[in-house]
Structures are given as C-alpha cells and as structure tokens.
C-alpha cells in the first residue's frame, strides 16, 4: 500500500518578522518571486503578524496581496482596502491584570489602541528597534488607564529573555479565561484577546476563501505562530525557530537569513 499523499495546498498564511523578512527587515527578491509563483499556480497567499495594520502596508503592497490580512496576532483582520473586517480586543480586566504584573518587573510595557503605539517610558528596552520596525513613532502617555476599554495588544519588551518566558507562564493562568500571552520574538511578550490568535485567524480566512483546513499551509518562527501550526494542514517552522516551536511543525525550512520562505514554497507548497 502506498503512503498517503499531502493534499494540494490552496492557501498559505505567513508570519512577517523572522519569517518573510530578513533580520534587517528587508524583503528579498527570492521570497517575492516564490510568492509570485504561488499566485501563478493558483495558490492564494496572505500574511499574519504581531504588527499593527499600518506597519504591514509596505509588505502587503510589495507582495501584491489582495486578500484580508491579519494584524496584532489575530486581534484585527483587515480587508484589502484597509478597513477593519474583524476585531478581538482585550477585556479591560485582563488588560489591567497584565499591566499590573508587568509593572512589577523590569520590562518596557506598550499598549496598542486607537491605531497608536502607546508607552510610558521612551527610554525603555527596544523602543528604537520597534520604531524602526513599525516605521512610525510612539505616543507617550502618563497612564494607560484611559485606553483599557479598547486595547488591541499589550507588549512587554525586555533584553532578559528568560524573564519574558517566566512572565508568559505566570500571566496566562491569571488572564486565561479571556486573553492569552505568547512571545512573538525572544524579546517581546505579546498579550491579545483569547480569540485573537493566528489559529482562529487562519480558520476565518480559510472559511472566507472556501478552502478546507487540510489544504492550508502556515509558516512562522515564533511562539505566537504555533496557534496557526495547530490548525493548518501543513505547518512549516523557520530554521532559526526555537525547539519548542519546531516541535509543532510538520516541516522545517531554512532560516529567514537564507530565504526560508522561498525554500519552503518550492520544496513543500508548490504542486509537483
């Protein structure tokens, strides 16, 4: 008896930072061309990121994406025209619990609300890095309290990677009924509403496109990508991903420095 074959992929969802982009945040020609070959083969493609919607526009335009895209790890699903298709926001109680815990530790806390990046301390860890990544500046506030009824995402940023791993484990039992914490990078711990994850976003997009989950592929590098790995028919981890991310993937590819997305598309996704 021959071994079962992988169903043909009809839709691929990709993370952006650490996956599509190289370490310097550039989008390589190899990845652009490989995604073009997906389109030629009739395979639809979109992106899911921890970024805010307006920080994804450059990549969306460069890749010619004409499908809904996923921002804030799934908290927002954005129509191709930039309008909001779906939003999952953090309940105020969970937002307050999160910020109170972060305030007890040496981390930089950021809140994303009203399409703005809000922070208390401009000198905090990774502020300059985030400004460079997003392509726009923060808004300094005296308190997050006025925004707690409309928070899309909360981030703890720190150079102490072990501390963020510990905070992830501590925070989830405290907010687990309505929100979820997961690291999007070694140095970022992201908090979003419980239904705001890349797995639920993949399901929503697949349903909208009429594609069975068995014929979807997801690719990423971080803990916040595992949710879509668990739902996709094919899941691909980047070469530089941590071991606990790789263990949830059905396939491995090269690192983002080596254009692992292009390799994965050619090796696993395009029909042979």
Q: pLDDT by residue for the chain (272 residues), tens digit each?
A: 334 456 799 999 999 999 999 999 999 999 999 999 999 999 999 999 999 999 999 999 999 999 999 999 999 999 999 899 999 999 999 999 999 999 999 999 999 999 899 999 999 999 999 999 899 999 999 999 999 999 999 999 999 999 999 999 999 999 989 999 999 889 999 999 999 999 999 999 999 999 999 999 999 999 999 999 999 999 999 999 999 999 999 999 999 999 999 999 999 999 87
CA distances from 83 to 26, 75, 95, 149, 207 (A): 26, 14, 25, 21, 19
Helix (H) / strand (E) element for 44: namely strand 44-47
Whole-model pTM: value is: 0.86
- Three-state secondary structure call for residue 72: helix
Produce one character per residue of 18-52: b if its CB has 16 or more CB atoms within 10 Å, e if not.
bbbbbeeeebbebbbebbeebeeeebbbbbbbbbb
Going by the DSSP 8-state scheme, the letter that residue 38 receives in this structure is: H
CB–CB of 237/249 below 8 Å?
yes
Domain 11-87+196-269 fold? Rossmann fold (3.40.50)
pLDDT of 251 reads 98
Question: Which pLDDT score is estimated for 272?
Answer: 75
Contact 124, 103 (CB under 8 A): no
For residue 118, the surrounding DSSP H or E stretch is strand 116-119
CB neighbour class for 183 (10 Å; exposed up to 12, middle 13-18, buried from 19): buried
**How many whole angstroms separate alpha carbon 20 and alpha carbon 62?**
12
Q: Residue 157 belongs to what H/E stretch?
A: strand 151-157
- Phi then psi for residue 249, to 5 deg, are -95, 150
pLDDT at 6: 62
For domain 92-193, is the CATH number 3.30.1240.10? yes
Per-residue pLDDT at 145: 97
Strand 188-193 and strand 151-157: the pairing is: antiparallel
Helix (H, G, I), strand (E, B) or coil at 83: coil
Would you tell me how many other CB atoms lie within 10 Å of the CB of residue 272? Answer: 6
Q: Where in the chain is the domain with CATH 3.30.1240.10?
A: 92-193
Task: List every span in the chain annotated with CATH 3.40.50.1000.
Answer: 11-87+196-269
Query: What pLDDT was estimated at residue 5?
Result: 57
Number of neighbouring beta carbons within 10 Å of residue 195: 17
**Are 111 and 98 a contacting pair, CB within 8 Å?**
no
Q: How long, in residues, is the chain?
A: 272
């Amino acid at each position: 008896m021959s071994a079962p074959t992988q169903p043909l992929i009809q839709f691929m969802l990709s993370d952006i930072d650490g996956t599509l982009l190289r370490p310097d945040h550039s989008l390589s020609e190899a990845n652009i061309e490989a995604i073009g070959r997906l389109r030629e083969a009739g395979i639809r493609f979109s992106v899911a990121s921890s970024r805010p919607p307006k920080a994804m526009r450059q990549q969306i335009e460069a890749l010619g994406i004409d499908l809904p895209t996923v921002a804030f790890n799934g908290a927002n699903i954005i129509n191709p025209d930039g309008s909001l298709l779906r939003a999952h926001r953090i309940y105020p109680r969970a937002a307050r619990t999160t910020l109170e815990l972060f305030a007890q530790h040496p981390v930089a806390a950021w809140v994303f609300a009203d399409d703005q990046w809000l922070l208390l301390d401009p000198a905090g860890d990774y502020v300059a890095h985030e400004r460079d990544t997003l392509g726009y500046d923060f808004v300094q506030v005296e308190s997050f309290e006025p925004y707690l009824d409309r928070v899309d995402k909360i981030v703890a940023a720190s150079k102490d990677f072990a501390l963020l791993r510990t905070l992830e484990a501590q925070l989830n039992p405290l907010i687990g009924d309505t929100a979820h914490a997961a690291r999007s990078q070694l140095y970022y711990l992201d908090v979003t509403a419980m239904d705001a994850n890349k797995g639920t976003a993949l399901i929503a997009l697949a349903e909208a496109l009429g594609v069975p989950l068995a014929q979807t592929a997801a690719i990423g590098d971080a803990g916040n990508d595992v949710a879509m790995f668990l739902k996709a028919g094919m899941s691909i981890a980047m070469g530089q991903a941590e071991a606990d991310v790789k263990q949830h993937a059905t396939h491995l590819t090269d690192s983002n420095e080596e254009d692992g997305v292009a390799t994965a598309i050619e090796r696993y996704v395009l029909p042979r």
